[in-house]
Structure 1
């Protein structure tokens, strides 16, 4: 399945507005890292490697809201670290939803039951729970036993209270087509999450385990086999159909790093969420002072194995919206 209808309409209106204004580079979604601290130490993430004084910092509400308004993205992913460790994260969500932004709060869900009473269900808000495999595999990925069961319990709690719940699953070279099938079928059919996001893992420079990341051909083979026999059409994805084609190797895109910019306590990250080539103070500086042409596969060796959704989903969305055939396919695909 493709993107939910109300998100497709929101994105479509945003794209039309940029075209009318003749804006060449603009965000589809902005990722706001409200803190770097986390209650887990995942092997494929390097966020908690920051110095202790940085890990203690929390982004003020108005700073987070101001960054979203500055770039004008219609959708927002609030991340970290673990956002539910931020004492005012519920107020950040409230302010953004009030401004009619679509907000996903990315969480490992361990603290969700404790804080869920601070949030209200809304069509423009969804929990985004990280689930990286079934029980044994997920707990190994986050380096702590019992996390999978608690996350699934939290998802069911949120669903019972009327919230939308999305999941985000990152896959590594430790995965097989069957492990992908198992977790997506479980989340889709048994847990009943509203939408699922998937992405091959990207080799964070500070990640403790550097031996788990997929290459391009590994990624294509993994998803081609996992999506076979009609399974892809049965799963409720939060992706464009062209991005899923891209994961299978059916189409090729250049990365669109400016499509999902990242803002944190350090400022706007250059050039994207996955690579740390410095930070600038304003979104205008990010757009104007970044040499976008030097990034991407075949240009920067750090990009050679990247097929992450933060770089290629924007490419797929732009290709979809720029083609009547693909736009109709996105609407009608089931």
Structure 2
């Protein structure tokens, strides 16, 4: 399965508007980190290695809304750190929904039951819960026992209250194709989450553990085996068909780093969510002054093994809308 119909329509309108305006670079989704602090210390995370003073900062509501309005993306992912540690996260979500944005609140779900009452179900609001394996594997990934069980119960609670729940699973070289099958079967068939998002892990320079990241060929072989036997068709993915083709090695794309820009307490991060090469004060400055030609596979060694969805899903979406055949394929797979 591909993207939900109403989200595909929203994206289609946005893409048509950009084409009519003859814009070459524009966002599909904006990632907003309203804080760096987190209640977990995951081994593969490069987002929490900041000084104590920085970890105490929280982005004001109007600053977060201003960044979203400035870039004009139709979708917003609120991340961190752990967004539910922000005391006004429910206000940010409410204001974004009032602006007709599709909002994904990315969380480890540990704090979700405590804060669930502050939010209301909406077809444009999704809890995006990180699940990086079944119990043992997930708890190892987040470096804390019991988190998997907490996340599962939080998902069940949110769904019982009428919320949409998506999951985001990152896989590493410690994961076999069967590991991927097992966790996606559990999420799809037993927990019955609405959609699932997957990505090979990226080797953050500041991640505590640097020995767990997949190379390109290993990524392709792993996902090709995991997707075999009709698995890919039965799982409810939150991805375009071409991105899944990309993971299997059936298609290749250049990265589109400006498609999912990152805004955080420091500004607009260059060049993308995964790499920190300085900051721009405005989204237009990010577009105009970043040397995009220096990045990508074969250009910057940090990009050579990256197949993360934040860089390549926008490439796949643009390739889909640029092809009548792929557009029909996307429409018939909903």
- Would you say 1:120 and 2:123 are equivalent positions? no
Q: CA deviation at 1:46?
A: 1.9
SS at match of 1:49: coil
- Give, in whole Å, the separation in 2 of the partners of 1:332 and 1:6: 14
State the secondary structure of the residue aligned to 1:128.
strand
3-state secondary structure, aligned to 2:48: helix
Which residue in the other structure is 1:57 paired with? Answer: 57
Q: Which runs of 4+ in 1 moved over 3 A?
A: none
Q: How far is the alpha carbon of 1:47 from its aligned partner?
A: 1.6
Instruction: State the TM-score, normalizing by the size of structure 2.
Output: 1.00
Gaps (5+ residues) in structure 1? Answer: none
Q: CA offsets, 1:244-285, max 9 Å, x none?
A: 000000000000000000000000000000000011110010
- Aligned position for 1:34: 34
CA distance in 2, matches of 1:48, 1:185: 30
| Cα distance, 1:320 vs structure 2 | 0.2
Q: Equivalent residue for 1:316?
A: 316
Quick one: distance in 2 between partners of 1:46 and 1:214? 16
Structure 1 partner of 2:200: 200
Q: 1:100 offset after TM fit, Å? A: 0.3
- Mapped pair 1:257 → 2:257: yes
Q: Secondary structure at the match of 2:182?
A: helix
Equivalent residue, structure 2, for 1:268: 268
Q: How does 1:129-144 map to 2 (within 5 A)?
A: 129-144=129-144
Q: CA RMSD in A?
A: 0.5
Q: CA deviation at 1:333?
A: 2.1
Counterpart in 1 of 2:280?
Answer: 280
Distance in 1 between residues matched to 2:52 and 2:155, nearest whole Å:
31
CA distance in 2: counterparts of 1:46 and 1:320, whole angstroms:
31
CA distance in 2, matches of 1:160, 1:106: 19
Residue 171 of structure 2 corresponds to which residue in structure 1? 171
Count of residue pairs the alignment pairs up = 334
TM-score (norm 1): 1.00
1:294-305 alignment, distance < 5 Å: 294-305=294-305
Q: Secondary structure at the match of 1:263?
A: strand
Q: CA deviation at 1:291?
A: 0.8
Structure 1 equivalent of residue 69 of structure 2: 69
